[in-house]
Chains A and B, each alone.
Chain A
């Protein structure tokens, strides 16, 4: 299990519900490694500002992560974490490997709108 302050998605059912209940959803799927930790930390920081986006993480090594790994948008990914942005259940952006705050906020603003 990931040790972050984000809400974790741990089962297929939780993932399904997160996709159904949230118009705007960001899932960061990774491990507790040096390429993933900075992304989780940025998400934790942004969570209170982006109240219109549900920010979730997911352990890369659990069966539920197959959902992320098998997305066509992630087929060329070869670096952790896999971060996927969903709008109304559909993928609108996806990134592989470490991202900085500017890169993440650029995508959040572009696909979900900036926080009011």
Chain B
């Protein structure tokens, strides 16, 4: 029987791992499909406190994990597919095994949203990508679009200028959600152009992408632009499906927690990071949530004794 199982190994889950390990709760962390979380796709992280020099998302997450391991946190691959409760014990089904635990911290984060147009599926991996750092090198001297207006889109656009001949940011709104510092860097880059407010209606090509049909969201005008690649960075959706039987979820999929805590409607189940955060979606915020969840778990387990 585990004391606490942490589902997810991004900033929130790993912070919860560090704290619960130091509380001597011997946490087991199920890393999920992508241990390290969304930060893994960040080539450079410039806004994480304590790192005056840029650090890659992968390096940052590696440091988190090493710190957790130093205090005895245990890591295992696999993700929770289903959770059930019997008396005060939770059973987590990973598809490979069933794990019993006294408490659960849900830190499964969010997954990248897709455009959800039929041609996106057809060309995924053949010009359409959700990861600039993974696939950018395939677009050397080619023209690419980056779809989105947040920090990830700006960072992707900048990263892609290392390879691509030209990068066009396509964003359907007339304002950007990205931080001013990110926007400034993009605006100062001669390789980057803008198409605002335009959205992607269709992706064209034969075996690979050769263009996209864009629609102006204000005038309704459509146009076909030539490009070889389309990088989609239009936000994320929380990964909470597996836990819906034990937590309350809002209309957008976020887990509802008691204000000022990480407690869900089920005693013993706590949630932190991007699964509870429809607003900020920052690693630094997720770290704070992870710390809160660990303290909440410690109080919960202590009271059970």
Among A33, A41, A42, contact of B134 (Cβ-Cβ < 8 Å): A33
A-contacting 9-mer, from B124-132, B253-261, B283-291: B124-132
B207 within 8 Å of A by Cβ?
Answer: yes
B-contacting 9-mer, from A76-84, A85-93, A106-114: A76-84
A58 within 8 Å of B by Cβ?
Answer: no
A42 to B94, CA, bound (A): 12
CB neighbours of B207 from chain A (8 A): 76
CB neighbours of B41 from chain A (8 A): 33-34
Given contacts A37-B35, A38-B33, A45-B78, contact A78 B134 (CB under 8 A): no
A95 within 8 Å of B by Cβ?
Answer: yes
Q: Is the CB of B77 within 8 A of A78?
A: no
Given contacts A33-B133, A33-B134, contact A79 B34 (CB under 8 A): no
Residues from 24 to 42 in B contacting A, C-beta threshold 8 Å: 33-36, 38, 40-41
Of A32, A34, A36, A79, most buried by chain B (CB within 10 Å of CB) is: A34
Q: Is the CB of B131 within 8 A of A33?
A: yes
Name the CB-closest residue of B to A4.
B77
Number of A-B contacts (CB under 8 A): 70
Name the CB-closest residue of B to A33.
B134
| Least distance between A35 CB and chain B CB atoms (Å) | 5
A11 within 8 Å of B by Cβ?
Answer: no
Q: Is the CB of A79 within 8 A of B138?
A: yes
Q: Is the CB of B34 within 8 A of A38?
A: yes
| Least distance between A32 CB and chain B CB atoms (Å) | 8
Does more than half of chain A's interface fall in helix, strand or loop, or is it mixed?
A: loop
Q: How large is the interface on B (under 10, 10 to 19, 20 to 34, 35 or more residues)?
A: 20 to 34
Q: Is the CB of B125 within 8 A of A34?
A: no
CB neighbours of A95 from chain B (8 A): 125
| Least distance between B122 CB and chain A CB atoms (Å) | 12
CB neighbours of B128 from chain A (8 A): 79
Among B35, B135, B208, contact of A76 (Cβ-Cβ < 8 Å): B208
Among B38, B40, B138, contact of A78 (Cβ-Cβ < 8 Å): B138
CB neighbours of B130 from chain A (8 A): 35, 98
CB neighbours of A5 from chain B (8 A): 77
CB neighbours of B126 from chain A (8 A): 76-79, 96
B86 within 8 Å of A by Cβ?
Answer: no
B139 within 8 Å of A by Cβ?
Answer: yes
A31 within 8 Å of B by Cβ?
Answer: yes
Q: Is the CB of A35 within 8 A of B208?
A: no
Name the CB-closest residue of A to B135.
A79
CB neighbours of A10 from chain B (8 A): none
Residues from 32 to 87 in A contacting B, C-beta threshold 8 Å: 32-38, 41-42, 44-45, 76-80
| Least distance between A67 CB and chain B CB atoms (Å) | 18
Q: Is the CB of B77 within 8 A of A35?
A: no
What mask results when residues 63 to 78 of chain B are scored 1 for a CB within 8 Å of chain A, else 0?
0000000000000011
Which B residues lie at the A interface, using CB under 8 A? 33-36, 38, 40-41, 58, 77-78, 95-96, 124-131, 133-135, 138-139, 207-208, 229
A-B contact pairs, 12 of them (CB 8 A): A33-B40, A37-B34, A38-B34, A42-B33, A76-B208, A77-B125, A78-B126, A78-B135, A78-B139, A79-B135, A80-B135, A97-B129
